[in-house]
Amino acid sequence: MGAVVKALLLARYTLVIHNGMKVTSEAESWTLDFATQLRKIDAALQGAGIDTTKPMLAPVEW
């Protein structure tokens, strides 16, 4: 698997984990929304032949 595809998969995993998370800073709260970024990453991965409908595995390096 190419380095660009691996980087996109890592970015996708990270955004999926944090998407929808409620954050608070300086007494203001909001929900993180990475839907647009995830759609763009999915389109790029699908263009590379990666099935983005399968469950993701955690990116563990041994």
**pLDDT tens digits, one per residue of 6-58:** 999 999 999 999 999 999 999 999 999 999 999 999 999 999 999 999 888 88
pLDDT score of 41: 97
In this prediction the pTM is 0.83
- Do residues 11 and 41 make contact, with C-beta atoms less than 8 angstroms apart? yes
Residue appearing with tokens 């955690």:
58
- Do residues 19 and 38 make contact, with C-beta atoms less than 8 angstroms apart? yes
Q: Which two tokens stand for residue 45?
A: 């991965």
**Helices (H), ranges, 1-62:** 3-18, 35-47
Q: Which two tokens stand for residue 49?
A: 């032949």
Q: Using CA atoms, how far apart are residues 28 and 13, in angstroms rounded to an integer?
A: 26
